[in-house]
Chain A
Amino acid sequence: MKRIVGIVVALLAFAFLPASVMAQGSGTISGRVIDQATQAPVQAAQVVIVGTQRGAMTDQDGRYTITGVPAGTHELRVRRVGYGSTTQSVTVSDGGTATAEFSLATSATRLEEVVVNAVTGQEQRRVENGTNTGFIGVADLPKGPITKMADVLQGRVAGVTLQSVGGATGSGQRVRIRGANSISLSNEPLLYVDGVLVSNGKGGISVGGGDYSRLNDLNVEEIEDIEVLKGPAASAIYGSAAANGVLLITTKKGRVGAPVWRAYAEVGQTKDKNDYPLNFAALRRTVPGSTTEEFYCLPASGCDNPFDWVLFTTALFGPSAPFATCHNYQAALAAGTAGACTQDEVISFDFFRDDRTSPFVSGSRDKLGIGVSGGGDALTYFISGDREAENGVLRPNNLERVSLRSNLNARIGGSATAAVTAAYITSKHRRLGSDNNIFSPLIIGLTGPAQYLPGMETDTVGVAVGRAGSLFGPNYLDNQNFFADQFVDRFIIGANTNVTPRTWLRLNANAGLDYYGRSDEQGLDPNILPIGGEFDVGFRDVFRSNNYEWTSHASATGTFNPLTSLISTTTLGGSFGRSLFQQVECFGQAIPAGTKSCAAATTQFAVDETREELKTIGAFLRQELAFADRVFLSGSLRADNNSGLVRDVSGLSYYPSLNASWLMSDESFFPRAGFLSQFRLRAAWGRAGTRPGYGQAESLFGSRAIQRVGAETPALILTGTGNPALKVEKTTELEGGFDLGMFDNRVSAEFTAYTRSSKDALIQRKLAPSTGLTANVFQNLGEIENSGTEMGLNIQAIQSERVGLDIRFTASTLKNRIVELGEDIAPIQINRGRQQHREGFSAGGYFALPIKYNDANGDGKLSVAEVSVDTSKFLIVRNEAGGLDTLRLAFVGPLLPTNTQGLSMNLTLFKNLTISSLFERRGGNKQMNETEYFRCRTQHSNPFFGFCGAISNPNASLASQAAFIGSQFAQFGATPYGYMEDASFVKFRELAVRFGVPEGVGSRAGFLSGAAITLSGRNLKTWTDYTGLDPEINEGGGNAFTQAEFNTQPPVRTFNLRLDLKF
């Protein structure tokens, strides 16, 4: 630590060197900013003195004041999201106050907006930046349809893809920016909130799926905007964990002026509006004249046992049964052929839409909050508190969360500012056993019978041979007896100070802590669910975790004018970060009813402890040059070291970047085309890293207990095989593009092409088990490429006093490819072998033995013989000897969409009525319909139950019949090929209708100065050819690549009513 202190002191010392020069005389600039068209005040506009760090933000009346301005003439620039920037000269006298008024015109271009670098604390205009940085003005979004933080990111920024885990309340998402870089490590971007690195960690107790996301701890109501640094070209200075991009989240700040109170209340309803497959049985009569009613119950049984009420088939009751099953593939055989049959009766049952059995209920959500902001020249404040609650459509699944935030910004004298941000979040999340969990209502219904059975809807506790109509035993109501809770208490605190001792020099120091304490608790009281094992005696399982992320940065920035038309900005700094995760687990069985402590367990008691720590230290140098405010060049170099590497082996890792931006339209030679108002060229190159995790570089032994001669004895075993030669995985990115402003900047367009390559990719390669080592070791072996394009189009289609229409369209393409896994590294299998990391193909792509079908007789049914292996799709790969090998395998498709489009529209009528919508399309990727694969295979081996449509629905598609035959019959090797389906979709994500109270009404209401009511909907419609539950949900949300739906709850439809008040 002494050395770190030394570094920081040295940085500060050198930074203060020029400050010894006495300051000259100073004055004040003040004024007002208004909208050119409406003459209304523009609040939250930034007014800055060009070439300096000095500036102010306008208050709700559009007024601003900048104090401590050196006497002399200055160029003053004003910028605000949605407006074009403007500048004017102002002369300040010693001790005097100069006035500068601004009138802003709306603009669809964003070049004057500012990006704040969380590492250097430095503000940089977008026009100066050679990268394409995504921006989401969260404060301006209609909040009604946004139910969680992840909704903000969905469909709004080209190149950012959210992969939803599912529709359960509290479930999380994967965030991918410009594809996936790392095969074996995280592909999640870094998250910074007001300069503090915050965790998006997972872990805790698995409930089968339905993973959550710490990203969603963040309260949307508190957020001003989000900057998306899409990759190393923009994020190089963030160092050895920034290869996946960075999300810079800025929370709201107070503005100079009287206190402004804002309050809102929101109520909503959620419903499951998805289609679920039916359970079928197709039967042939073995007793002439028998009717379907007869097989409901075995007459001799008395019908008092659930298992008497089953399919009355020969498989169960021998040849005397009145019916035998007749599957589609048997009915497809020619009459007289062995095994051929006629489907005399077909029955089906819709478990999820039958009122007697449907597990779905109406969910609800409510949210309310209040906040106040304001302040004076010396101190501004933003304080808010919010509470939200949501009940899911399956029981028990709910979430309660309270968020508190206090942001204080102070001006200290004329040359220093300080900011302290503090947030507290507490939540209670009751999670639902789902996905790969026998208590999941989805799996119970989808593997159930083809008919309603008496007792299905009741909790028939104690039936010796299981529950009516349940393949695995649990009733769909049983999960209500469990609790799987997650309690979170989280603090995110940060302090930032900027000192401007000289007009040309700024010092920045930033420190913060993101802490969360998480308690995951799962259990069951005894004698509630007597279906065997721990369910009889009750159990309790608890994970108590603490996670700390410490962030600290210090930097000094000097701005100089070596030449009249050249501005040079140099930043030198250092950073230190530490993350620490601690966890203790306890487990025990046979607990007394009502107890909520492992200490009450009387058997199977187990404890475990985890501690993982990572430290990173870095130093950086950044140089920017601005030529005539038209050409901007910058370069940076960061050096990092981190604890994921073995000491004295790896050395420092270096991350350089270069970027250039040329505002060509400001050049005198640029043709003044009538429609073209702005044109910028840009290019950037940079490198960032993905650091190894804890314990990946060193082999570790751990202690386990073994009983020997009746006594517990410690035993040391190898718990992890490390690789001492491990290095940071480095990703290099090159991007280039242009920005256009047209028709007086009412139309703007941007285009970016990028290519990035991850070399020394950390591959978690398998070890041959015959070595006696553990299963995996990390090695720097591979190379992965991502390339693509991004496009954005903003159109202010109509801007009149009565009607306004803004349209934003985004699009992206992505090509992801594993160039090399490494010498002698075989394709890496994931997700039950459905997905592979294989050279030459997209990471985690789907592979399977291909099949094809031909319904030769056109009867709509496929026999086994009408399905065959499709040799034309076999992969041909080059072998080590240089020859070609043909693999009995086909590449089916990638898991990440290869193209996405987003369309959002805002229609404003008569200033007070706004209709907003968001559509998203994704295409080019596949989704594994594991739900149907499992259902068809499992049901087929259980004659007690119904069958999936592919087996017994005479109207089943040929594709689904072929998929089943491929999965079931030995000659096809249980191929999942037919269940890897096209996942393309268009989703109507959001619709919001907002009515703001007309100006003046509020003032008549006394204290009210504004009010609005918003009716909104989310997940309103999906258009897709995918036949499963949903094309984008994912059972493996916590994994980097696993993608499949497996009895995963699909998204729900939400309607919200929201009232906003300002006073």
Chain B
Amino acid sequence: MNHISAKRGLRAFPRLLLAGAFALPLVGCDTDEIVRVENPEELGPGATVNADAVPALVAGAVRQFEGGYSGLGDDAFVSASGVITDEFAWGDSFTTRFAADRRTIQLPVLGNISDVAFSRLQQSRMLAARASALVDQFEADLDDPDGMRSQLSTTEGYVYVTLSEGWCGGVPFSNVPPTGDIDPSQIEYGPALTTAAMNEAALPLFDAAIALDPTHELAMVGKARALLNLGRYNEAEAAVIDVGDTFVYHIEHSTNTSAQNNALSSLIDNGRYALANLEGGTTATGAALSPDINTDASNATAEGLNFRSAQDPRIPYVGPFACFTTSRRCWTYNNYPTFTADVPLASGVEARLIEAEAAMQRGDFVTMMAKINALRAQASALLPLLYPEQRQTFPAPTSGAVSLAPLTDPGIGSLDPVTARRNLLFRERAFWMFGTGHRQGDLRRLVRVYGLPPDSVFPSGPYFRAAGTNYGTDVAYPVPFTEETNNPEFDRAACLTSDA
């Protein structure tokens, strides 16, 4: 066996132990310091606690709201709210978009096109709270702290309004402490808010913004939009009284990065969506229209408006082209012809239409028509303000100046003047604010506030892009599935997507 001297081995063994005892304390050194790594491209929460970081944090809150509303080159509220209504039609193979267009929202566990937008809107709210705390902390070092506060307050207000219009009436709002490290163990889960409660929550935020900046027209329109959602028409009218006709707040897009592209433009360019026409409508057999063609200008039973066949200068378009699924045909919306086209979030046009609706509600149809026709008379001036990159094509370019003829009060001589005036008003809203994230809120108001059956305003009947299938009953998007499984306060039963 082994012939190494046992004696020598035993002599050496204590030496080794001695040496080990000498070395081991060194092993117990500050290893945290040795393994510390830095990444200059990203910042920990502590690195954002200084005055220099505050403007970027304010911009971060705005960015996440705008990303949730208009998109970061991807689906967001504008596209999602458009496809579930009659504005846009499905053009690709994605089951999420198919489900939205068909008003048969996928089970939350499978995800929906609205999920990312939901998260971004909530992130905006969290960032706004964090930025607000820092504005307070570094007020003395900031150029315009009140301007930042009003901006953050308005942004947060729009988050509530957007969530109320796009999602079910059971949206939870949770919070983490706005200062210090971000630690998930400190989450405070909040209860779900109803559609009305979300709009109520938005009002003091807009009021706070206006109090800080009495000329804040974006906050004024936002407040009025919330009040309209609550059916408080006179207050809504009062909120926008100081908003000028030419005011427009744009969510700005650029080609600086792909996330800054006009998402709707990008999605349509990719054939994901088509500009729809006369969606819905029931017939005895099959779809109301030949599959995928829906060019019929006289589909009397369609709930959807004739956005294409009306050939209205407010909704220029070109096409058809092949959709993403090339066996389908897609029409391109030409108010956003490029990825740099800006999206009007709020405008003087919206303010005047709110006034017209308030007038209608109090029976002042003369004022209502005057407001509507005043806007129509200014179409050639207002459209370039709303949609600076608009291309007037139907599908060939139009010649001459853009104009909209004045309308007469449809209630006069009508057997159903209430319906006629309401339809006119909502049609004007639909055409002026097409593709701006207003249509879903309007259709839900028609159900919730005006009392119309959902299937009479949302597309219904045979679904035109999948033979043998029908439109479903959904009018809103669900809170994402991850809320259900991670927020003990959340109640899925309170989040009904078929409830306006």
Instruction: Judge whether A723 and B184 touch: CB under 8 Å.
Output: yes
How far apart are B215's CB and chain A's nearest CB, in angstroms? Answer: 16
Inter-chain contact B23/A464, CB cutoff 8 Å = no
Interface residues in A810-834 (C-beta closer than 8 Å to B):
824, 826-827, 829, 832-833
> Are A466 and B326 in touch, CB under 8 angstroms?
yes
Given the complex, which residues of B lie within 8 Å of A605, measured CB to CB?
A: 255-257
| A708 contacts B by Cβ under 8 Å | yes
| A472–B270 CA distance with the chains assembled, in angstroms | 11
Cα of A702 to Cα of B259 in the assembled complex, Å: 14
Partner of B48, one of A15, A470, A701: A701
Give the docked Cα–Cα distance between A472 and B325 (Å): 4
Partner of B2 from A7, A51, A771, A824 at Cβ < 8 Å: A51
Q: Which of A318, A629, A721, A768 has a CB less than 8 Å from the CB of B290?
A: A318
Given known pairs A14-B23, A562-B13, A943-B467, the reply for A3 and B30 (CB within 8 Å) is: yes
Contact B1 A565 (CB under 8 A): yes
Identify the closest chain B residue to A712 (Cβ): B256
Interchain CA distance A619-B25 in the complex, whole Å: 11
- Asked whether, in the complex, the Cβ of B35 is within 8 Å of the Cβ of A616, the reply is yes
A771 near B126 with CB under 8 A, answer: yes
Please tell me if the beta carbons of B485 and A707 are within 8 angstroms of each other in the complex: no
- Given A558-B16, A706-B62, A700:B44 Cβ within 8 A: yes
Cα(A767)–Cα(B482), bound, Å: 7
Contact, CB under 8 Å: B12 / A769: no
Verify if A1039 is at the interface (C-beta below 8 Å from B).
no
Pick from B36, B173, B291, B482 the residue with the most CB of A within 10 Å.
Answer: B482
Tell me which residues from 783 to 832 in chain A have a Cβ below 8 Å from any Cβ of chain B: 824, 826-827, 829, 832
Given A560-B12, A716-B57, decide whether A472 and B39 contact each other with a Cβ distance below 8 A.
no
Q: Once the chains are docked, how many angstroms separate the CA of A565 from the CA of B44?
A: 59
Distance in Å from the Cβ of B492 to the closest Cβ of chain A?
12
**How far is B56's CA from A1006's CA once the two chains are assembled, in angstroms?**
78
Q: Please, what's the 1-or-0 string for A437-467, where 1 marks a CB less than 8 Å from any CB in chain B?
A: 0100000000000000000000000001111
B230-262: CB near A (< 8 Å → 1, else 0) gives 000000000000000000000011111111110
Specify which chain A residues have a CB less than 8 angstroms from the CB of B258 in the assembled complex: 587, 604, 606
**Which residues of B are found within 8 Å of A591, using beta-carbon distances?**
none
- Does A765 have its Cβ within 8 Å of any Cβ on chain B? yes
Q: A679 an interface residue at 8 Å Cβ cutoff?
A: no
For residue A52, CB closer than 8 A to chain B, the reply is yes
Complex interface: chain B residues within 8 A of A705 (CB): 256-257, 259-260
Whether B446 is near chain A, meaning CB under 8 Å from some CB there, is: no
Contacting pair B42 A315 (CB below 8 A): no
A700 interface neighbour in B10, B19, B42, B255, Cβ under 8 Å: B42
SS class, residues of chain A in contact with chain B? mixed
Inter-chain contact B37/A643, CB cutoff 8 Å: yes
Interface residue B127 (Cβ < 8 Å from any Cβ of A): yes
Mask: chain A, 551-565; 1 = CB below 8 Å from B; 0 = not: 000000011111111
Q: Is the CB of A707 within 8 A of B252?
A: yes
Given contacts A532-B271, A768-B482, contact A504 B8 (CB under 8 A): yes
CB-contact partner of B31 in A13, A617, A721, A768, under 8 A: A617
The distance in angstroms between the C-alpha atoms of A21 and B171, with both chains bound, is 79
B400 smallest CB distance to A (angstroms): 29
A533 and B323 CA atoms in complex are apart in Å by 11
Contact A707 B187 (CB under 8 A): no
Task: Point out the residues of chain B lying under 8 angstroms from A706, CB to CB.
Answer: 59, 62-63, 66, 252, 260
B residues 24-83 in Cβ contact with A at 8 Å? 24, 26-27, 29-45, 47-48, 53, 56-57, 59-60, 62-64, 66
CB distance from A695 to the nearest CB of B (A): 7
For B270, give the chain A residue with the smallest CB separation: A533
**Cα distance A642–B57 in the bound complex, in angstroms:** 31
- Chain A nearest CB, measured from B156 CB (Å): 11
With CB as the reference atom, state the residue of chain A lying closest to B32.
A647
Identify which of A73, A609, A724 contacts B183 (C-beta below 8 A): A724
> 5 shortest A-B CB distances, which residue pairs?
A772-B126, A14-B19, A466-B326, A826-B485, A560-B9
Binding site for B on A (CB under 8 A): 1, 3-4, 6-7, 10-11, 13-15, 17-18, 50-52, 72-75, 307, 315-316, 318, 438, 464-467, 470-473, 502-505, 531-533, 558-565, 567-568, 570, 572, 574, 576, 587, 603-606, 609-617, 619, 621, 628-629, 639, 641-643, 647-648, 652, 694-695, 698-710, 712-725, 765-775, 777, 779, 824, 826-827, 829, 832-833, 937-938, 940-945, 970, 973-974
13 further A-B contacts with Cβ under 8 Å, apart from A471-B327, A699-B181, are: A7-B29, A473-B325, A473-B326, A572-B16, A609-B41, A611-B40, A615-B37, A641-B32, A707-B256, A767-B187, A771-B174, A824-B488, A941-B98
10 A-B residue pairs with Cβ-Cβ distance under 8 Å, sorted by A, are A74-B3, A465-B321, A533-B270, A611-B39, A628-B1, A707-B256, A767-B187, A771-B175, A771-B184, A773-B123
